[in-house]
Amino acid sequence: AQSVTQLGSHVSVSEGALVLLRCNYSSSVPPYLFWYVQYPNQGLQLLLKYTSAATLVKGINGFEAEFKKSETSFHLTKPSAHMSDAAEYFCAVRGDNAGNMLTFGGGTRLMVKP
């Protein structure tokens, strides 16, 4: 079975500072990994995904994530935080269960201080 752990349910950064949201996974099959973002009062939308091509994946809004097999990690980063980045971020792994359903982590709420 697969699982996802997001370290830190809340992360606070200053505007312009580096954003680092941590995600570690376990999967019995080569993983497909995803980051979703949920802005206040909205549904989730896909930020980026890793599908066994390049290990550094670039997404929307300046975010990127690096797949590190040796560390079973897929951390999300952005060099400079913007106030509009304040949202909840979910890491997910495609499952090895029937139907390959996505398994989500617990989420990390990113707060950006002016």
Which chain residues interact with another protein by CB under 8 A?
4, 6, 9, 32, 34, 36, 41-46, 49, 51, 90, 92, 94, 98-107
Minimum distance of another protein from residue 105's CB (angstroms): 5
Of 17 and 38, CB closest to another protein = 38
Q: With respect to another protein, which residue has the nearer C-beta, 8 or 16?
A: 8
For residue 50, count CB atoms less than 10 angstroms from its CB and return exposed for 0-12, middle for 13-18, buried for 19 or more: buried
The distance of closest approach from Cβ of residue 62 to another protein in the complex, given in angstroms and rounded to an integer, is 20
For the bound state, the minimum distance from the C-beta of residue 89 to another protein, rounded and expressed in Å, comes to 11
Q: Which of 12, 10, 9 has the alpha carbon at shortest distance from 81? A: 12
CB closer to another protein out of 40 and 114: 40
Structure tokens at 24: 């570690």
Q: Got the DSSP string for 25-80? A: EE-SS---EEEEEE-TTS-EEEEEEE-SS-SEEE-GGG-EEEEEGGGTEEEEEESS
- Name which of 18 and 111 has its Cβ closer to another protein: 111
Nearest distance from residue 46's CB to another protein, in Å? Answer: 6
